[in-house]
Amino acid sequence: MQINWQLVIDIAKAVIVFFGILTCIPILVYAERKICAYIQDRRGPNRVGPLGLLQPVADAIKSFFKEDYTPSHVDKVLFTLAPAMAFIAPALVFAVIPFGHLMEIKGYKILPQVFDMNIGILFVLMIASLGGYGLILGGWSSNNKYSLLGGLRASAQMLSYEIAMGLAVISIIMTAGSTRMADIVGVQTQGLWGTCIPAWNIITQPIAFIVFLCTAFAETNRLPFDLAEGDSELIGGYHTEYSSMKFAMFFMGEYLAVLTMSALIVTLFLGGWYFPGITEVGNTSLLNGILSIFVFGTKVGMLVFFFIWTRWTLPRFRYDQLMKLGWKILLPLALFNIILTAILGLR
Amino acid sequence: MTDTIFMVFAVMSIASAIAVVTWRNPVHCVLALIASFAGVAGLFYLLSAPFIAVMQIIIYAGAIIVLFLFVIMLLNLKKNEMGGDAPVQDRLFTVFLCVITVIILSIPVVATFTGTFYDQYKKTFPKPDANLGITETIGQEIFSAHALAFELISILIIAALIGAIYLAKKRQRG
Amino acid sequence: MFNPTNCLILSILLFAIGAYGVIAKRNILIMLMSVEIMLNAANLAFLTFARLYNDPTAHVFVLMNMAVAAAEVAVGLALLICVFRHKKSVDSTKLNLLKW
C-alpha cells in the first residue's frame, strides 16, 4: 500500500500545533503569576517545585478534582456548551498562522503552517467574530443577573471592537495586496527604502498597529477592557456560576486568546518569522526553518509579556469610556488610516 | 465525497432552520440560526464562493446574531411576553401553504435541470473558472461595474444607522 | 459533482421554512430570524446560478444582500425595542391599535 507522506505530514502538523499551543497555556499561567508578583513587589509562587515551576500542574490538578457543580436554575445545554466555545474559537485561529519558513527535507516540503488558505486573514476575522459567543452564552445561560450583565457587556464590546479591528486589518490587506497570510508576511520581509530596515507593518502602518492592539485587548477580554468579567463590580461576570473544569476551560480559553492575538499581531505587524540577519527568505534548509520558528516564538513571547505587563499596570475602563473609545476614537482613526493608506499608496 | 459533504451541510441547514421556527426560547432559536448559517456558508464554499462563505459567517454570525442576542438579553423576556405560536389550525394551514409553495417552485427546477433536454443544454454552459469567487474577482466587479450600487449601499447603511439610533433612543417627554 | 437541482431545491425548502416562521410565529424576534433564513435561501439560489453561468455579478449581489440584511436587522431590532417599551411584549398580535 502506498502511503501518502504529504498527507501524513499535514495531519502531523495539525496535531503538533494543537498540542503545542496547549502546552503553552501552563507556561503562560506561570509567567502571568510570576510577572504579576514582581510588578507588585512580591515573590509569586515558590512552594511547588523549584522556583514554583510546578504551580500550573498543581492548579490543573486542583480544578480536575473539584466538584463539577451545575446549579439547578441554569440552561444545562448552553451552560456546558459555552466554555467549550470559549476554548475552541481561539485555538482554531492557529490553523492559518504561518510560524516559520518553508523547509525541504529529502524532497518533502514542510511548511510550518497548518492550512495555507487563500483567504487566511478573513478566516481569522471569522473565528474572531465567533469568539464572543462563549462569553455571551455563558453569561445568559447562568441565569444570574451579574452573569447576564457580563454577557450583555461582552456582546456590545465584541460588536463594537470587531468593526475597528476589521478596518485596521483592511489597511494591512491594502499594504500586502493579498488576503493570504504568507503574502502578508512576504511583503514585510522586503527592505524599506532600500535599507536593511525591514518593512514591517508596525513601521509602515503605525496607526493600524495602535488600533489593532487596542482592539486585541478588548477581544481577548483582558484588562484594561475586561468589563465582561469585572470582578470588582460583577463578581465574576459571565463565569460567576462556573466551577471546576468548566471554569478552567474559560480560564484556558482566555490564555489561548492572548497567545493567538500575540501570534496574529506578530504575523500582521512584526514581520512574522522574519528578522534581518537571522532568517533568510528563500532558504529552504532545515536550520533556517528552525531559526525562523525560534524567531517567531521569541516575538510572540515578547508580546505575551506586553499583554501581562499591561494587565497589571492599567486600571479598568468605565463602560461608557470603553464605548466612547471604540466608536469615537478607534473607528474614525481606522477609517482615516484606510484613506491615508489609499492616498499614500504605502507598499 | 463532495456529495456527502453537500448532504451534511444541507441537512444541517434545513434541520436547524426547522429548529428556529419550532423552538420557543429565542436564545435557542438564535443558536439554531447560527448552525443554519454555518451550513449555508459551507454550501457557499462548495459552490466555489469562499469569500462569500467567510463573509456570511463574519456578517451574519459575527454581527447580526450578536445583535439579536444583545437585544434578547437587553429585553430579558418573561414567558408571557414572548408571543409564542399561532393557533394549531392556522399553523397546519401555513404548513400546507408552504408545502404547496415548495411543490410549485420545484416543478420548473426539476423540469429544467433534469432529462435529456438538460443533457443537451449542459454542453453550452461555460467551464468552471478557478477565478470565480476569489477576493480579487469580486473586488474588481464591485468597484468597476457596480460602483454605484456600492455607494448606494453605503447611503442605506448610514440611513439605517441613524434610524436605529433614533428609534432605540429613550425620548424625554415634553 | 455540482448539481444545480439539489442546490435549488434546498434553497426552495429553506425559503418555505422561513416563510412558515414569518407567518406562524407570534414572536417578532423569531419572525425577524425567519426573514434572515429566507434571505439566505435567496443568496443560495444566486450563488448556484453564479456557479452555473460562471458570473461574478451574483457574488456582488449576494454581498449587497447581506449589507441590506444587516441594515434591516438593525432597524428591525430598534423598532422591536420601541414596541417593547410601549407594549411590554414582543407578541405581534398585541400590535392592534389600528384594528377594530
Q: DSSP letters of A5-55? A: HHHHHHHHHHHHHHHHHHHHHHHHHHHHHHHHHHHTT-----SSSGGGTTH
Give the model's pLDDT for residue A202: 81
Chain B residue closest to A131 (CA)?
B62
Q: Which chains touch A (3 or more CB pairs under 8 A)?
A: B
Quick check: A347 pLDDT over 60?
no
Residue A104 bridge partners (DSSP) = A109
The answer to whether residue A12 sits within a structural domain is: no
* pLDDT tens profile A40-60: 888 878 888 788 788 888 888
Mean pLDDT over all residues of chain A? 82
Is the pair A, C in contact (3+ CB pairs within 8 Å)?
no
Identify the DSSP state of A237: G
Q: Is residue A298 part of a domain?
A: yes
Query: How does the average pLDDT of chain B come out, rounded?
Result: 84
Structure confidence at residue A283 (pLDDT): 73
Nearest CA in chain A to B57: A126
What ranges make up the beta strands (E) of chain A?
103-105, 108-110
Distance CA C73, CA C94 (A): 21
Helix (H) or strand (E) holding A81: helix A76-93
- Is the pLDDT higher at A197 or at A215? A215
More confident residue, C14 or B174: C14
Residue C16: the pLDDT is 92
How many angstroms separate the CA atoms of B173 and B166, rounded?
15
Most confident of A149-163, A284-298, B28-42: B28-42
Burial of B66 (0-12, 13-18, 19+ CB in 10 A): buried
Instruction: Give the distance from residue A27's alpha carbon to the nearest chain B alpha carbon, in angstroms.
Output: 31
Asked if residues C50 and B49 have their Cβ atoms less than 8 Å apart, the reply is yes
C27 chain-B contacts, CB cut-off 8 A = 26, 82-84
Q: Stretch C40-68: mean pLDDT, rounded?
A: 88
The span from the CA of B66 to the CA of A14, in Å, is 30
Domains of chain C: residue spans and CATH:
4-88 (1.10.287.3510)
Report the pLDDT value the prediction gives residue C35, as an integer from 0 to 100: 92
Residues 6+ apart with CB under 8 A from A42: none
Q: What is the pLDDT of residue B36?
A: 92
Count the neighbouring beta carbons within 10 Å of the beta carbon of residue B60. 26
Q: How far apart are CA A228 and CA A136, in angstroms?
A: 9
pLDDT at A315: 83
Q: Is residue A18 domain-resident?
A: no
Number of other residues whose CB lies within 10 A of the CB of residue A322: 20
pLDDT for residue B138 is more than 90: no
Nearest CA-CA partner of A204 in A218, A217, A225, A190:
A190
Q: How confident is the model at residue C12 (pLDDT cuts 50, 70, 90)?
A: very high
pLDDT at C64 > cutoff 80: yes
Integer CA distances (angstroms), C34 to A102, A246, C90, in order: 47, 33, 15
| pLDDT interval class at C43 (50, 70, 90) | very high
Say what the pLDDT of residue C26 is: 84
Segment A99-119, tens digit of pLDDT = 877 777 777 777 777 777 778
Min Cα–Cα distance to chain B from A44, Å: 39
Instruction: Give whole-number Cα distances, A121 to A41, A88, A312, in Å.
Output: 40, 18, 30
Question: Averaged over A142-148, what is the pLDDT?
Answer: 81
Residue-wise pLDDT for B48-62, tens only, equals: 888 888 888 888 888
Higher pLDDT, A199 or B91: B91
Looking at residue A315, what DSSP letter applies?
P
User: Which chain B residue has the Cα nearest residue C81?
Assistant: B168
Angle at A96 between CA A210 and CA A197, to 5 degrees: 50
- The answer as to whether A277 is a domain residue is yes
Instruction: Give the structural domain span for A264.
Output: 76-344
Mean pLDDT of the region B141-148 = 88
Residues 6+ apart with CB under 8 A from A31: A304, A305, A308
The contacts of residue B93 (CB under 8 Å, 6+ apart) are none
User: Would you place residue B16 in the very low, low, confident or very high pLDDT band (cuts 50, 70, 90)?
Assistant: very high
pLDDT tier at A182 (50, 70, 90 boundaries)? Answer: confident
Q: Which cell numbers hold the place of A310?
A: 499591561
| Contact assessment for residue B35 and residue B8, using Cβ atoms and an 8 Å cutoff | no
Nearest to A118 among B27, B28, B134 (CB): B134
Over 60: is that where the pLDDT of C57 sits?
Answer: yes
Angle between helices A5-39 and A244-269 (to 10 degrees): 100
Residues B18-35 have a mean pLDDT of 88
- Over residues A51-75, mean pLDDT: 81
CA dihedral (B45, B51, B57, B60) positive or negative:
negative
How far is the C-alpha of B138 from the C-alpha of B134, rounded, in Å? Answer: 7
Q: Looking at beta carbons, which residues of chain A come within 8 Å of B50? A: 118-119
Mean pLDDT on B70-92: 79
For residues B78 and B95, the model is more confident at B95
d(C-alpha B57, C-alpha B40), whole Å: 9
A327 falls in which pLDDT band (50, 70, 90)?
confident
Query: Which pLDDT value is given to residue C41?
Result: 92
Whole-number percent of chain C with pLDDT over 90: 29
Average pLDDT over residues A14-38: 86
Which residues make Cβ contacts (< 8 Å) with residue A25, sequence separation at least 6? A56, A252, A255, A256, A259
Which residue, among C2, C9, C17, would best test binding to B if mutated, counting the most B CBs under 10 Å from its CB? C17
Q: What percent of chain C clears pLDDT 70, i.e. is strictly above it?
A: 97
- Cβ distance C69 to C36 under 8 Å? yes
Question: ipTM value of the model?
Answer: 0.87
Show Cβ contacts of residue A89 under 8 Å, excluding neighbours closer than 6 positions. A127, A128, A130, A131, A133, A134, A253
- Cell numbers that stand for A40 in this block: 507588585
Phi/psi of residue A237, nearest 5 degrees: 60, -130
Type of residue at B19: A
A87 within 8 A of A249, measured Cβ to Cβ = yes
Domain-embedded: residue A26 = no
Question: Which 8-state DSSP code applies to residue A236?
Answer: T
Confidence at residue C1, expressed as pLDDT on a 0 to 100 scale: 55
- Which pTM value belongs to this model? 0.85
Please say if the pLDDT value at position B98 is more than 70: yes
Least confident interval from A87-101, A139-153, B116-130: B116-130
Q: Please indicate, yes or no, if residue A283 is contained in any of the structural domains.
A: yes
Q: Which amino acid is at B131?
A: N
Mean pLDDT value of segment B130-144: 82
The count of other CB atoms within 10 Å of the CB of residue A75 is: 17
pLDDT higher than 80, residue C17: yes
| pLDDT for res B155 | 93
Q: How far apart are the C-alpha atoms of B51 and B42, rounded to whole Å? A: 11
Per the CB < 8 A criterion, the answer to whether B142 and C52 are in contact is: no
Q: Point out the least confidently predicted range of A183-197, A293-307, B103-117, C74-88.
A: A183-197
Residue C91 pairs in a beta bridge with: C27
Using CB atoms, which residue from B50, B61, B72 is nearest to A119? B50
Which chain C positions have a beta carbon within 8 Å of B141's beta carbon? Answer: 56-57, 59-60
Residue B115 has pLDDT above 80, yes or no: no
Torsion of CA A60, A61, A67, A70, to 10 degrees: 20
Residue A22 included in any domain: no
User: Does the distance separating the beta carbons of C14 and B105 come in below 8 Å?
Assistant: no
Nearest to B71 by CA among A63, C54, A151: A151
- Mean pLDDT, chain C, rounded, equals 86
pLDDT for the residue numbered B173: 58
Chains A and B lie in contact, requiring 3 or more CB pairs less than 8 Å apart? yes
Q: What is the pLDDT of residue B135?
A: 81
Q: What domain count does chain A have?
A: 1
User: Is A30 domain-assigned?
Assistant: no
Residue from A306, A304, A317 nearest A225 by CA? A317
pLDDT of residue C15: 92
Is pLDDT at A274 greater than 60 in this prediction? yes
Q: Of A72 and B125, which is predicted with more confidence?
A: A72
**Shortest alpha-carbon distance between residue C97 and chain B (Å):** 17
Cα separation, A136 vs A141, in Å, equals 9
